[in-house]
Structure 1
Amino acid sequence: MMLNFFDQFMSPTLLGIPLIVLALTLPWALFPVPSPRWYDSRLLALQNWFINRYTQQLLLPLNLGGHKWATLLTSLMLYLMTLNMLGLLPYTYTPTTQLSLNLGLAVPLWLATVLIGLRNEPTHALAHLLPEGTPTPLIPVLIIIETISLFIRPLALGVRLTANLTAGHLLMQLIATAAFVLLPLMPTVAILTAIVLFLLTLLEIAVALIQAYVFVLLLSLYLQENV
């Protein structure tokens, strides 16, 4: 049993080499690759159908200028889903529980959407800082508030993903520890706790998938405001 529940979120190392690089590159090796045959396998057909449906749903509110981001956003969503799902396996590490990694993904992508808006439509991009019809005395205050809310967006993206995954992993470990401790003392309660742990694991799988989708969806909404 680990002495500290937060040890599971520490980046593992081997011979002084951080293994987070391996955790970040491994998901790409798990996706099925297209075959040269005329007909794909059922797994490839299901994967292609899912990617196509998701891309269509993602690009639905965007205009033609935002369609250039389809490959990047779809790849990012699949990548985050795989990282979150692999972290639920025993003896694995979840890189997306690190706030630094999530901010490293959120800040450059958010900044790219802002720079695209300033380059293509600077007047429209700056107009978001001041709603139309604002009374003159409130103009400085609203500009400051809207500017702060603009810069909080990437922080909210990273913190949301980190907090949801960290809370789920901690709760699963707490309930699993309680089940092991109660097993020799109160077997009936331990079995009920194990059932709760199983249901929580299903919920955490859904959270891992939904949080990856929400991360990319919010990025697409930020992109929609600037294209």
Structure 2
Amino acid sequence: MTLSFFDQFMPSTYLGVPLIFLALTLPWIFFPTPSARWLNNRLLTLQNWSIGRFIYQLLLPVSPGGHKWAILFTSLIIYLITLNTFGLIPYTFTPTTQLSLNIGLAVPLWLATVIIGMRDKPTHALGHLLPEGTPTLLIPVLIIIETISLLIRPLALGVRLTANLTAGHLLIQLIATAAFTLLNIYPVVTFITLVLLFLLTLLEVAVALIQAYVFVLLMSLYLQENV
């Protein structure tokens, strides 16, 4: 029984083809393609307004050189929100519970910000490794610590997203299993457990949205340091 709780995080296969590829591709068809018309339907208008406000707030502290990342950040947060929320539907799979996928998203983007900083502002980028006014004896130690802190950033991004989603899914399954077990024994306790499960599901929806936002927000902060 304990091992079955983790079966939901194992990618399924059909005819030898991993279904994770379908899960990664399917979300794109649920969003309408913006048109060049001035007047659109309500859904497109709401979508364009939401994206515009989000990008404005996200890139407000970033210098104009980093505004080229607007389309990339928009696509990334919509993609992550879709994957996270669709994974809460019963009998579905959440690709973002896989650490390998999250690391695969975080490492190239983080590496791109570092390369941009080293190319355009090498002195400014390397200056983050050694705070101003550091005593001479502490210089080697601080450089090592800041270098490790820099290299661990993509791992922290991937682990944060994976851990939050995995913990929420496990907690929902544990409470649902408890409610099903107590159904014929303690009906009142079962009702309370179902109410708790409903509230937890709402919380997990909020977590799915917030974690996607945090992922993109931290990436924008990394970009802000290098442009």
For normalisation by structure 2, the TM-score amounts to: 0.97
Q: Does residue 28 of the first structure (1) align with residue 66 of the second (2)?
A: no
Tell me, what secondary structure is at the counterpart of 1:4? helix
Tell me, what secondary structure is at the counterpart of 1:93? coil
Structure 1 outlier segments of 4+, above 6 Å? none
In percent, how many aligned pairs have the same letter?
76
- Give the superposition deviation at 1:119: 0.2
- Give the superposition deviation at 1:10: 0.2
Q: Does residue 39 of the first structure (1) align with residue 39 of the second (2)?
A: yes
The aligned counterpart of 1:103 is 103
Q: How does 1:154-173 map to 2 (within 5 A)?
A: 154-173=154-173
Following the alignment from structure 2 to structure 1, what is the Cα–Cα distance between the partners of residues 36 and 141? 61
- Give the superposition deviation at 1:42: 1.1
5+ long unaligned stretches in structure 2:
none
RMSD: 1.3
Q: How does 1:119-158 map to 2 (within 5 A)?
A: 119-158=119-158
- Paired residues, what number? 227
Q: Does residue 86 of the first structure (1) align with residue 86 of the second (2)?
A: yes
Following the alignment from structure 1 to structure 2, what is the Cα–Cα distance between the partners of residues 146 and 34? 43
Following the alignment from structure 1 to structure 2, what is the Cα–Cα distance between the partners of residues 222 and 37? 35
Following the alignment from structure 1 to structure 2, what is the Cα–Cα distance between the partners of residues 3 and 170? 11
The aligned counterpart of 2:7 is 7
The aligned counterpart of 2:117 is 117
- Give the superposition deviation at 1:138: 0.4
The aligned counterpart of 1:203 is 203
Following the alignment from structure 2 to structure 1, what is the Cα–Cα distance between the partners of residues 89 and 21? 18
Q: Does residue 70 of the first structure (1) align with residue 58 of the second (2)?
A: no
- Give the superposition deviation at 1:41: 1.2
5+ long unaligned stretches in structure 1:
none
User: Which moved further from structure 2: 13-22 or 34-43?
Assistant: 34-43
- Give the superposition deviation at 1:96: 0.1
User: Which moved further from structure 2: 27-36 or 100-109?
Assistant: 27-36
For normalisation by structure 1, the TM-score amounts to: 0.97
